[in-house]
Structure 1
Amino acid sequence: MTTPEPSVPPGPVPPPGCPAHGMSPDALRRLYGAEAEADPQALYEVLRKEHGQVAPVLLHGDLPAWLVLGHRENLEVMRSPSRFSNNSRLWSMFQQGRVGQDSPLLPIVGWQPICVFADGADHERLRSAVRDGLEQFDRRGIRRYVIRYTNQLVDSFAATGQADLIGDFAEKLPMLVMTQLFGMPEEYGPRLVDAALDLMKGSETALASNELVVDTLRTLAERKKAKPGHDFTTWLIGHEADLTDDEVMEHLRLVLVAANETTVNLIANTLRMVLTDRRFRANLAGGHMTLPDALEQVLWDEPPLSVITGRWATGDTVLGGKQISKGDMLLLGLAAGNVDPEIRPDLQKPLMGNRAHLAFSSGPHECPGQDIGRAIADTGIDTLLARLPDLQLGVSEGELRSSATWLSQRLESLPVRFTPPGSTGGGGKESVNFASTMPGPLPATVPAPVPDASPAGQPKKRPVAKSWRSLFHRGG
């Protein structure tokens, strides 16, 4: 199934150039290609220097858009739905017929019956179903899944004394947890990981990957209609908002893809910072920063998504001193806004417990599942480091490479080495194949969380400090 064709009838194709900006393509910076992929952060600063807090850019197909670079300007767009709508059918490029049906932008910006593209009462109806479904999960129950899968993943490579924490850990853990929360068979995980990664890259195969995700989720929804369970899919189907079949499937796709991409990047960026950043080492080893604090710092410095789409101007307006025309697309520059010199003149200063970053957006469209993502990253990293306390980088920091797309920057690999642990949870004496560690077929539904065994009134103790101190004191 392909993304629905925009319902706005196409108009005539305009002459070459970018009338939305009054500038030729050669005068604009592209958010794709060698310059953007080599160092997107450097590109943002070049744009800020050239244009200020709102910059004209080009997307795939040389389609014009505005990239919002300023922290305050991003918040202004996020919190002003009457001026900047989420309805992509307003985009002038759709109305002018300039977006082909084979465009890799379509899976991301093509209108779909989901809360991301809705405003007002319709948005609240759809968002309430997603929000209420996600709030059904007990955080302790989620953490138990994370610990279980982290141990299984560690068991699959522990005996070798080395691993790639991207391919062997970060890219697998979130999807394994999400398949359980969705009530999916576990074997869905690997193929959905590959499809979700490809979809977010906006590659030439993005449309095919989108079809795989859609077909998988449509089948899942049909099964849950026939046999409900204690899972997000069932709650979405039965919510009082009375979602249509298409709305159910599209929201499953939205949550799955968004949750996976953002959590993979959050885990990867945090682990890289832990292993390479002396500031992190000093603050964590000295007890000045907890692991949740570290996650928030990463969300400031390297948000999981660099850019998110999108908003469309409902009328002619002004933003950051730029004249925005009705129907123009605005891209929210999360990474650029988080390092805006006007709010962060000193980028080396830690931001303890400060959640004013843009990583999860703001306003009526703020991410409703951000705490689940934090729980997966926090618990997964904590468990990993408790299992492998002398973890250290396996290559020089200069050898680490990242790949960038117009939406995110991702660490390609994170080689590490460690002392193979003793036999723990099934691993340690010999290499264990990941698939063989699975305890047989999993139930099709998520069981109710087991009550916490901690005495009433006493917070459950976590081994964070010990595992972090072990890592740093051994010189990793």
Structure 2
Amino acid sequence: MTPGGAPHTLPAAVRLDSRALAAGDGVYPELRRRYGPVAPVLLEGEVPAWLVLGYREVRYVTAHPELFARDSRRWNAWDRVPRDWPLLPYVARSASVLTAEGAEHRRKAGAITDVLSGVDPFGLRTSAERAADAAIDRFAGAGRAELMAQYAGQVPQRVMAGLLGLRDDEALEIEEDVAATLGDDGPRAAAAHARIHGTVQVLLERGRRQPGADLASRLLAHPARLTHDEAVQDLIALLAAAVRPTADWIGNTLRLMLTDDRFAVSLSGGRRSAGQALAEVLWTDSPAQNVVGRWAVHDAPLGGRHIRRGDCLVLGLAAANADPQVCPYPRDGGPAAGPAAAGNQAHLSFSHGEHGCPAPAPELAEAIATAAVEVLLDRLPDLRLACPPEALTWRPSLWSRGPATLPVAFTALV
């Protein structure tokens, strides 16, 4: 196959299968072997796209919004998208910062950055520790727990509820609805999306009547003067970006520490190895796997392929992190996977470029995840898996990566 060949000259596009990704880590290497750094793929409903696998190629796409932009109205395959397409909420043009471009994006992203910069990192750590303790208290006497549902998902959700100024009943309701949107693409998820939208509407109306220090009130008061619809969409995007990825970061880190002998010696202490484990999973088991999408503004070459104007691109963040040319954690656990690799922050788990996670979101997520891991290991020092490591499975998903379940046992606390 000659470099720059048009899509129709390539071998048949591969349908991305969430079950195959959950079953093992061989999908991305096989795609890389067959197609190089950019592969033709089919999304749900046989919708065509390009999966960008190469580290350098993902960085190039994210660094050049003038070539690969976020507004999906450019898409040349809208006629192939079903009306009930599960990914429609993630690609359809909206008032959200996620689909904005140029000055509009800078205005919205600047407001989010400023609002998040006002979060006290020390207070956030305290809130995360309290949320972790409260979650542990609910199962500590049982001697057994399922950490994904009972812990990893609980801590970031409770912290975000506090930052948003949600009442306890609202926090519980939105917690259930967020879980529904992440585990189901059908009618149940659509209903949950609608309820989340309604809750955020109520939150903003309350922030207008009684402004406080919560994120919603501060976003409304920002000089960017977001419209009501913009504020609703951006708060929903912030909630979605903060909860599930952080929960999976916590779960993936605990899974690594409970199954990898390199962390066994320090597991009872927790604090010495938690940072290394948190850093490693951002390379090897990134919570954010793939992101749809970017759309080509013009015909352009990329990774030896000819990308046509209006083509959809999926950013393969996990595949890029595993690119053999850059990954500091080889699958064979070789010398490069030693302690020095923990300082390598060049991963793409928070994406890259102007549409990457806005500062200081990664630092805030790290504070929550670190507190969750350390508090758990401090309080339950003999924590251990309650099943064989090989029995653990990944949640089927093209977009995120986290354990389906993480059952553990420990000495019950009286």
Q: TM-score, normalised by structure 1?
A: 0.80
Distance in 2 (CA, whole Å) between partners of 1:245 and 1:380 is 34
Distance in 1 (CA, whole Å) between partners of 2:164 and 2:269 is 39
Question: Which residue of structure 1 aligns with residue 13 of structure 2?
Answer: 28
Distance in 1 (CA, whole Å) between partners of 2:20 and 2:112 is 37
Distance in 1 (CA, whole Å) between partners of 2:268 and 2:184 is 40
Question: Which residue of structure 2 aligns with residue 168 of structure 1?
Answer: 150
Distance in 1 (CA, whole Å) between partners of 2:407 and 2:22 is 22
User: What amino acid sits opposite 1:415 in the alignment?
Assistant: P
Question: Which residue of structure 2 aligns with residue 73 of structure 1?
Answer: 57
Distance in 1 (CA, whole Å) between partners of 2:18 and 2:363 is 34
Shift >6 Å, 4+ stretches = 283-288
Distance in 1 (CA, whole Å) between partners of 2:58 and 2:265 is 32
Question: Which residue of structure 2 aligns with residue 8 of structure 1?
Answer: none
The equivalent position to 1:273 in structure 2, one of 251, 256, 261, is 256
The equivalent position to 1:218 in structure 2, one of 196, 201, 213, is 201
Structure 1 residues 254-305: Cα deviation after superposition (integer angstroms, max 9, x where no partner)? 0001111110100000000011111233577899964223211111111111
Question: Which residue of structure 1 aligns with residue 290 of structure 2?
Answer: 307
Question: Which residue of structure 2 aligns with residue 120 of structure 1?
Answer: 102
The equivalent position to 1:398 in structure 2, one of 390, 394, 407, is 390
Structure 1 residues 215-244: Cα deviation after superposition (integer angstroms, max 9, x where no partner)? 111111111111111111011111000000
Percent of matched pairs sharing the same residue: 38
Runs of 5+ consecutive residues of structure 1 not aligned to the other structure: 1-19, 422-427, 429-476
Distance in 2 (CA, whole Å) between partners of 1:286 and 1:197 is 31
User: What amino acid sits opposite 1:22 in the alignment?
Assistant: H
Question: Which residue of structure 2 aligns with residue 185 of structure 1?
Answer: 167
Question: Which residue of structure 2 aligns with residue 356 of structure 1?
Answer: 346
8 Å contact kept, 1:107–1:210? no
The equivalent position to 1:381 in structure 2, one of 373, 385, 392, is 373
8 Å contact kept, 2:290–2:318? yes
Query: CA 1:112–1:23 in 2, change beyond 3 Å: closer, same or farther?
Result: farther
8 Å contact kept, 1:107–1:207? no
**Please, which moves more after superposition, 287-296 or 275-284?**
287-296
8 Å contact kept, 1:393–1:414? yes
Question: Which residue of structure 2 aligns with residue 471 of structure 1?
Answer: none
**Please, which moves more after superposition, 252-261 or 363-372?**
363-372
User: What amino acid sits opposite 2:172 in the alignment?
Assistant: P
The equivalent position to 1:58 in structure 2, one of 7, 23, 42, is 42
Q: CA deviation at 1:380?
A: 1.2
- Which protein shows a greater Rg? 1
Distance in 1 (CA, whole Å) between partners of 2:243 and 2:381 is 26
Query: CA 1:282–1:82 in 2, change beyond 3 Å: closer, same or farther?
Result: farther
SS of corresponding position for 1:243: coil
1:38-437 to structure 2, matched below 5 A, reads 38-39=23-24, 41-94=25-78, 97-201=79-183, 203-205=185-187, 206-281=189-264, 290-344=273-327, 346-347=330-331, 348=333, 349-350=336-337, 351-368=341-358, 369-421=361-413, 428=414
User: What amino acid sits opposite 2:197 in the alignment?
Assistant: V
Distance in 1 (CA, whole Å) between partners of 2:209 and 2:240 is 25
8 Å contact kept, 2:144–2:408? yes
Distance in 1 (CA, whole Å) between partners of 2:245 and 2:75 is 26
SS of corresponding position for 2:376: helix
Q: CA deviation at 1:375?
A: 0.7
Distance in 1 (CA, whole Å) between partners of 2:184 and 2:145 is 28
The number of aligned residues is 400
In terms of fraction of residues, the more helix-rich structure is 2
Distance in 2 (CA, whole Å) between partners of 1:187 and 1:46 is 47
Distance in 2 (CA, whole Å) between partners of 1:21 and 1:197 is 37
Distance in 2 (CA, whole Å) between partners of 1:34 and 1:274 is 24
Distance in 2 (CA, whole Å) between partners of 1:78 and 1:201 is 28
8 Å contact kept, 1:306–1:409? yes
Q: TM-score, normalised by structure 2?
A: 0.91
**Please, which moves more after superposition, 344-353 or 136-145?**
344-353
